[in-house]
Amino acid sequence: MDEKSATYDVVIVGFGPVGATLANLLTQQGLTVAILEREAGVYHLARAGHFDAEVMRVFQSIGVAAEVEAQSGITFGMRWLDADGALLMEWRRGGEKGPFGWVSDYMFHQPDLERTLRAKLNTSTQVKMFLSHDVYDIREQSDHVVIRAEDTANSRLVEICGRYVVGCDGARSLVRRCIGSEHEDLGFKQRWLVVDVLESRDLGLERISIQHCNPERPMYASSLANRRLRWEIMVMPEDDVTQIVRENSVWNFIENSVRPIRREDGEITRAAIYTFESLIAKKWRKSRLLIAGDSAHRTPPFLGQGMCAGIRDAANLAWKLAAICQGRASQELLETYQPERMPHVRAFVQGAIEFGKIIEMADPEALLARTRDMRANPKAYAPPNPALGPGGVGKEYGTKGLGRQVVQPHLADGLMDDQIGHSFAILSTSEFPKIHDEAHRRLTSLPHLKWIVLSQQNASLLDGYGAPAIVVRPDRYVHACAHDGSDLLAVINALPLSLH
């Protein structure tokens, strides 16, 4: 496709995990995509280190789950220790595949993931990748957007057009600035030293993350994947930031941490100071411009949900952009994006802030109260499980399991998502279509709707919805319940898009 003459369906600015995931989701639904990235290749240092089962389902939907699973490590939970190393609380993970079809938590090396996502894109004829292209100007027209960039490898200027532009271009997002969005600051801002170490050999360390809630020096330690370890060390007011990043200082931290290793056991591959912040953009869309991932929100890392939130953004946007670009929905469908995603993101950001406050706590009385409470009420510290926000496609999200991810059972032909693809789906008991033959015939003729009749063994997954059928969106969130054929037809007919 010639960039000088083409108008792509979607232009993505930024080629990190969120941009690459979005591009895969869009191309697999038949859209043409251009990706512009200022770097010449995959950035060699990791930022994110954790993703969950919901994110693995997205990777499954684009056909890279096996590769990602092979290069990732399973984590068996997290321990919270007090200043003396005594146990405050523990989140245990068994390491087995759970109700979503995957292990609940994975640790990974971000450059490996990015290479896998890009390799998948290389198999598509629907995408054009513009590496070493630094975007400097974005201008909206009536029916498209013009993006101007400098091809820094060849010292030339290029112009690319897209029907829609999604900024996955990080904290300093140009797309966000073009939207004119300010940040809402949720009040957390703290510098931490982030250290990555590559083991010289497999040290056989326990695959569990540790939060050392030590008021003198809060610290986090974890195993990522493929002999890679990470420490996050809070920068204290008295620290000389030019000194604590030096190799001797870093090794002193590691050797005296709750997960000590010796200098001869590994090589420091990164030691840098980062500012952990809690920011949410106030405006995620302006007409044909949208933002996702770090461009739209930044969270402290204490729940490991930063990249996860961005992948959820991509999954939410992809099916909506596909429906619009294919003429099955109007542009107004994009008005549901921020109302659905923003409250969901906010719950995780606020949860991370609360955990950050617990980890950084220094007041002696508060420390005693924290110790008593965490040991007595560990369930009160569970991570958030929010529903999508109201005002989007579903007006009642948050009740009866609506607006939350549906579980993924094994069906006769494999995992459920592989049969659904990128479509809406009806999940019903075996009795439902027999009773409502007319509705069954009409709905099974729709090309963008799959009807899956659950076996008796799997039918119990509908028990929590109080109905014999549910409607599931392409991003695997439960949209509605249906008690009979009339209910089901009404739900489908009320969707703001056509499934034909």
Q: What pLDDT was estimated at residue 377? A: 93
Find out whether 432 and 451 touch, Cβ atoms under 8 Å. no
Question: Buried b / exposed e across 407-423, counting CB within 10 Å, b at 16+?
Answer: bbbebeeebbbeebebb
Q: What pLDDT was estimated at residue 400? A: 86
The confidence band for 438, taking pLDDT boundaries of 50, 70 and 90, is confident
Domains in the chain, ordered, with CATH?
7-74+102-183+279-351 (3.50.50.60), 410-494 (3.40.30.10)
Report the percent of the chain where pLDDT is more than 70.
99
Is the pLDDT at 270 greater than 80, yes or no? yes
Q: What pLDDT was estimated at residue 396? A: 81
DSSP state at residue 317: H
- 297 DSSP β-pair partners: 280
Is the pLDDT at 441 greater than 90, yes or no? no
Per-residue pLDDT tens digits for 117-134 = 999 999 999 999 999 999
Report the percent of the chain where pLDDT is more than 90.
91
Is the pLDDT at 179 greater than 80, yes or no? yes
Per-residue pLDDT tens digits for 130-163 = 999 999 999 999 999 999 999 999 999 999 999 9
- 36 DSSP β-pair partners: 13, 130
Q: What pLDDT was estimated at residue 5? A: 52
Residue 91: its H or E element: strand 87-92
Question: In the chain, what is the greatest distance between 2 CA atoms, to the nearest angstrom?
Answer: 74
Q: Report the chain's C-alpha Rg in angstroms.
A: 24
Is the pLDDT at 490 greater than 70, yes or no? yes
Q: How far apart are CA 222 and CA 75, in angstroms?
A: 9
Is the pLDDT at 1 greater than 50, yes or no? no
Model-wide pTM > 0.95:
yes
Is the pLDDT at 15 greater than 50, yes or no? yes
Residue of 401, 404, 454 whose CA lies nearest to 426: 454
Find out whether 248 and 262 touch, Cβ atoms under 8 Å. no
Residue of 213, 249, 215 whose CA lies nearest to 87: 213
Answer positive or negative: Cα dihedral of 261, 262, 263, 265: negative
Going edge to edge, which strands form the sheet with 87-92?
A: 87-92, 77-81, 209-212, 219-223, 228-234, 183-199, 266-281, 297-298
- Residue labelled with tokens 């695959």: 207
Count CB atoms within 10 A of the CB of residue 267: 11
Is the pLDDT at 395 greater than 80, yes or no? no
Q: What is the mean pLDDT of residues 418-423?
A: 97
Q: How far apart are CA 235 and CA 43, in angstroms?
A: 25
Question: Buried b / exposed e across 444-473, counting CB within 10 Å, b at 16+?
Answer: eebebbbbbbbeeebbebbeebebbbbbbb
Could you give the 3-state DSSP secondary structure of residue 37? Answer: coil
Q: With the CA atoms of 37, 39, 20 and 190 taken in that order, what torsion angle do they form, in degrees rounded to the nearest 10?
A: -110
Find out whether 128 and 121 touch, Cβ atoms under 8 Å. no
Q: How far apart are CA 206 and CA 75, in angstroms?
A: 9
Q: What is the mean pLDDT of residues 264-281?
A: 97
